Each structure stands twice: as C-alpha cells, then as structure tokens.
Structure 1
Amino acid sequence: MYRFLDRHLADLDEGARITVDAVRKWVTAVAERKCPADAVAPLFLDRRLIGAMAPFHRALTLLAVHGRMQLGFARECCPVVAEGEALLLSLLDRTSDRRRTCLAAVNEPYVEALQQAVMELEAAMQVAGLAPGSAGR
C-alpha cells in the first residue's frame, strides 16, 4: 500500500489512474447519497470495463461497510493518491500479498468475498488491456 500512497497520479499507469478516478467518483456519490454505480458507469463504459463494474462495487462496499478502519479518500481534483485508493491499488497489484492485505482491511468473515471481488476486478481490467500488475511502476 505504501508504494502507492502519496504518489502523483501522473506517475501511475493508465489502469491505476482509472482505478483512482473510479474510487473517487464512487466515494463522492455515496457521500452525496447518489447511486455509486451510476457515478462510475461512464468511466467504465468508455474503457470497455463493464465487466469490472460489479466486482468494483462489491470491493468498495465491503471496504466501506466491513472495513477494519475508516479509510481516507481524496477529492477528484487531488493530484496524489490517498490512503483508501492506495489500499485498492495494492490489492490489485499481483506482487502484493493480497490475502494479508484483505485480512488487514476487512473483518474476518468478509476476507474471502473481498479477495474474490478483487480477483474479478483484476480479470476484467486484464481483458480491457489495463493490467493492474504494472500499476505504480
């Protein structure tokens, strides 16, 4: 996670930038009591990521509802990666210990569900040519 924290968005690959943008749109929509799926749909549709919508929504919902801690997220105009965004980027990074990160992020009964959502999100990003394994490198 710390590999991504406070990194400039311009230094991230396209998949990571899209992920951060989607997270910020989702969090903003929830804060404004709007539908988060509607908020991210155009971003996902424009990049052939419709298959990523459901697992993305599940992952963020699990983090929001069953998270072990309250995560910080930046506004859409912020040029650097915030804590919550760095957590999701680290979960999408194939080189990270995904299970350990999930255990630290959500309460025990939800670890498997978060892992599954992240794996499905990663697969959808792979299909769209936005390999998250290179995020932040």
Structure 2
Amino acid sequence: MYDLIDRPISILSRGDRFLIDAIRLWVAARTACQHPPALLAAGFAQAGALDALCDFDAWMTQLSSHARVPIQINCKCGLVTDDESVLLTLARDLVTGRDAKARTTLSLLVADGAIAPTFCALARTAAMLGQIGLPPGTSVKT
C-alpha cells in the first residue's frame, strides 16, 4: 500500500489507472448528484469492462454508505492519495489471492454488516478486470 502513496498515476499499470480513473469519476459524479454508472458506462464499455460496472458501482456505493470514516478521493490530483492507495491495494490483494488480508482491511474501512457485500462486489470487480486484461497491480513502472 505504501509503495503507491504519492506516486504519479502515470506510472501505474493499465489496470490500476483504469481503477483510479473509475473511482475518481464515480466520486465526482456522486458529488455532483449525478448517477455514477451513467457517467462511467462509456469508459467501461470502451475498455471492454461493461460487465464489471454493476459490481464496481456496488463496491463504491458500499464504501460510500458504510465507511467507518470518510474516504477521501482527490479527483484532480495527478498522484495516488492515501485512501486511493488503500482501495488499489484491496483490489490487488484480491487479484493475488490475499482474500484474508482484504477482508481485514475492509473490516477497518466499513461497518461490520457491510464487510461481506463490499468484499463480494470488489472481488467480482477485480476478477472481471483481470479477465479482460486490466488486473489491478500487475506492474508499476519505477
């Protein structure tokens, strides 16, 4: 997680960049009282990830609705922020089979009743992104 904080987004893998862009656009849409999936659909479709959109939206909705403390996403910064690094690491953990670590992290982020649905939505999102060649965390340029 700490290897991502304050790193330029441009050095991230395609999967990580896709996920950060989607997270930031989802937050910007929600902040503007717009329907996030409607704004994300074209980008997800262009990437071949449209099947992941529903689960991605569910993951973000769970985080937004059940966070123990507000999650801060900086929609205009060219660097990975602290909370963004946590979200990327969660997705990376699931792609690499570290499910227990991801569950532990989620238990710190969301209310107890939201851990399972948040985990499932994120796991499906990460798996689908992996299937289309956009797995989070495959490489970071140095």
After TM superposition, the score normalised by the length of structure 1 is 0.91
Preserved CA contact (<8 Å) 1:92 1:132: yes
Provide Cα deviations, 1:80-130, integer angstroms capped at 9, x if missing partner: 012332222011113551011110110111111111011100111011111
Alignment correspondent of 1:123: 127
Provide Cα deviations, 1:37-94, integer angstroms capped at 9, x if missing partner: 111111111100011101110111111110011111112x421012332222011113
| Counterparts of 1:70 and 1:3, CA distance in 2 | 22
Distance 1:135 1:42, change over 3 A: farther
Q: Which amino acid aligns with 1:85?
A: E
Q: RMSD in angstroms over aligned alpha carbons?
A: 1.5
The count of aligned residue pairs is 136
| Counterparts of 1:136 and 1:102, CA distance in 2 | 24
Structure 2: gaps spanning 5 or more residues: none
Query: After the TM superposition, which residues 46-125 of structure 1 pair with which residues of structure 2 at under 5 Å, given as runs?
Result: 46-75=46-75, 77-94=76-93, 95=96, 97-125=101-129
Preserved CA contact (<8 Å) 1:72 1:84: yes
Between the aligned residues of both structures, percent identity stands at 28
Structure 1: gaps spanning 5 or more residues: none
| Counterparts of 1:70 and 1:40, CA distance in 2 | 22
Q: Following TM superposition, by how much is the alpha carbon of 1:16 offset from its aligned partner in structure 2, in angstroms?
A: 0.3
| Counterparts of 1:68 and 1:136, CA distance in 2 | 30
